[in-house]
Structure 1
Amino acid sequence: MEGRLLGGRYRLVRQLGEGGMGEVWEARDETLDRQVAVKVISLLAGGGSRGDEARARFLREARITARLQHAHVVTVHDLGESSTQRGTAPFLVMELVRGEGLDTKIREGSVGLAEAARWGAQICDALGDAHAHNVMHRDIKPSNILVTPAGTVKVLDFGVARAADPCASADRLTQTGFIVGTPPYMAPEQARGYPEPRSDLYALGCLLFELVTGRLPFQAPDSIGYLTAHLSQQPPAPSSVAAGVPEAWDALLLKLLRKDPAERYANAADAARALRRLADAPDPAPAATAQLPETLPSPPARSAPGKPATLRSAIAVAVWFLVTLVAATVTAVNVNGVSDGRDIAGGAAAVAAATGWLIVWFAVQARPHWQARIALPRRFLAPVLLFCLYAALIAVDVADAASLDGINWDYWLPVGGVPTLALAGLLAVTAALTPRTKRPTRGIGYGLAGVNAVAVLGTFTHLVSGNPIWFQYFGFVSPPWVPIAVGASAVALYCTREITTRRAGSASSLLSQP
Structure 2
Amino acid sequence: MSPRREDAVEGQLLGGRYRLVRQLGEGGMGEVWEARDETLDRQVAVKVISLLAGGGSRGDEARARFLREARITARLQHPYVVTVHDLGESSTQRGIAPFLVMELVRGEGLDVKLREGSVDLAEAARWGAQICDALGDAHAHGIMHRDIKPSNILVTSAGTVKVLDFGVARAADPYATADRLTQTGFIVGTPPYMAPEQARGYPEPRSDLYALGCLLFELVTGRLPFQAPDSVGYLTAHLSQQPPAPSSVVAGVPEAWDALLLRLLRKDPAERYASAADAAQALRGLADAPEPAPTATAPLTEGWPSPSPGGPTRKPVAGRNWIAVAVWFLVTLVAATVTMVNIDGVDDGRDVASGAGAVAVATGGLIVWFAVRARPRWQARMALPLRFLPPALLFCVYATVVAADLADDASVGGIDGGFWLSVGGISTLTLVGLLAMAAALTPRTGRRTRGIGYALVGVNAAAVVGTLTTMLSGHRFGFQYVPFVSRQWALFAVGMAAIALFCTREITTRRAGSAGLTEHR
The separation in 2 between residues aligned to 1:67 and 1:136, in whole angstroms, is: 13
User: Any stretches of 5+ residues in structure 1 without a counterpart?
Assistant: 435-448, 467-472, 498-511
Whole-Å Cα distance in 2 between the matches of residues 427 and 335 of structure 1? 28
Distance 1:334 1:276, change over 3 A: same
Aligned partner of 1:164 in structure 2 is: 172
364-373 or 215-224, which deviates more: 215-224
Cα distance per residue 1:431-488 (max 9 Å; x no partner): 8999xxxxxxxxxxxxxx9xxx9xx9xxx9xx9xx9xxxxxx98967759989x989x
Query: Is 1:276 aligned to residue 284 of structure 2?
Result: yes
What code does the residue aligned with 2:283 have? L
What is the CA–CA distance in structure 1 between the aligned matches of 2:437 and 2:21, rounded to whole Å? 30
Residue 412 of structure 2 aligns to a residue whose secondary structure is coil
Cα distance, 1:127 vs. partner? Answer: 0.6
Q: Which has the higher contact order (CA 8 A, sep 6+)?
A: 1
1: CA distance between counterparts of 2:439 and 2:32?
Answer: 28
Q: Deviations over 1:238-290 (max 9, x none)?
A: 4455544444334333332233323322210011112222333333327xx34
Measured after TM superposition, the shift of residue 65 of structure 1 is: 2.4
Q: Work out the CA distance in 2 between the residues paired with 1:331 and 1:149.
A: 54
3-state DSSP of counterpart to 2:72:
helix
Contact in 1 for aligned 2:391/2:439 (Cα 8 Å): no
What is the aligned partner in structure 2 of residue 291 from structure 1?
297
Cα 1:92–1:425, aligned 2, differ >3 Å: closer, same or farther?
Answer: farther
Q: CA offset at residue 125 of structure 1?
A: 1.1
Pair 1:11 & 2:20 matched: yes
Structure 2 residues not aligned, in runs of 5+:
1-5, 308-312, 443-451, 467-475, 510-518
Change (3 A) 1:247 1:361: closer
Alignment of 1:393-412 (within 5 A): 393-401=401-409, 403-404=411-412
2:246 and 2:411 mapped to 1: Cα distance? 62
CA distance in 1 between counterparts of 2:229 and 2:436 reads: 39
Contact 1:76 1:94 in 2 (8 A): yes
Determine which of 47, 56, 66 is the counterpart of 2:64. 56
1:330 counterpart = 2:338: yes
CA distance, structure 1, for counterparts of residue 74 and residue 434 of structure 2? 45
- The equivalent of 1:174 in structure 2 is 182
Percent of aligned positions that are identical: 78
1:7-59 per-position Cα deviation (integer Å, ceiling 9, x unaligned)? 2433332x333221112334455666655433222111112333233223323
Q: 2:20 is aligned with what amino acid?
A: R
Q: SS of the counterpart of 1:93?
A: strand
For normalisation by structure 2, the TM-score amounts to 0.72
Pick from 167, 184, 201: which aligns with 1:193? 201
Q: Secondary structure at the match of 2:297?
A: coil
AA in 2 matched with 1:10: R
Q: Give the whole-Å Cα distance in 1 for the aligned partners of 2:242 and 2:306.
A: 16
Compared with structure 1, are the counterparts of its residues 321 and 145 closer, same or farther at alpha carbon in structure 2 (3 Å cutoff)? same
- Checking the alignment, whether the CA contact within 8 Å between 2:249 and 2:314 is kept in structure 1 is no
Deviates more, 1:231-240 or 1:87-96: 231-240
Q: Partners in 1 of 2:19 and 2:498 — Cα distance?
A: 48
2: CA distance between counterparts of 1:355 and 1:481?
A: 20
Contact 2:181 2:202 in 1 (8 A): yes
- Does structure 1 retain, via aligned residues, the 8 Å contact 2:20–2:33? no
Whether the aligned pair in 2 keeps the contact of 1:190 and 1:199 (CA below 8 Å) is yes
The verdict on how the C-alpha distance between 1:111 and 1:336 changes in structure 2, with shifts beyond 3 A counting, is: same
Counterpart of 2:224?
Answer: 216
The answer to whether the 8 A contact 1:131-1:197 is kept is yes
Q: Is the 8 A contact 2:146 2:188 kept in 1?
A: yes
Using a 3 Å threshold, how does the CA distance of structure 1 residues 230 and 383 change in structure 2: closer, same or farther? same
Instruction: Kindly indicate whether the alpha-carbon contact (under 8 Å) linking 1:38 and 1:92 is maintained by their aligned counterparts in 2.
Output: yes
Shift of 1:165: 0.8
Residue 392 of structure 1 corresponds to which residue in structure 2?
Answer: 400
Deviations 1:45-87 (A, max 9, x none): 1123332332233233333323323232223344333332211
Give the letter for the 2:407 counterpart.
Answer: A
Correspondences of 1:9-408 after superposition (within 5 Å): 9-13=18-22, 15-29=23-37, 35-106=43-114, 110-285=118-293, 289-291=295-297, 296=300, 298-300=302-304, 302=306, 307=316, 316-317=324-325, 319-338=327-346, 343-344=351-352, 346-381=354-389, 383-401=391-409, 403-404=411-412
Q: Residue by residue, what CA displacement relative to the aligned partner does 1:91-122 show, whole Å, maximum 9, x if unpaired?
A: 33334434443334445651344433322222
Tell me the matched-pair count. Answer: 470
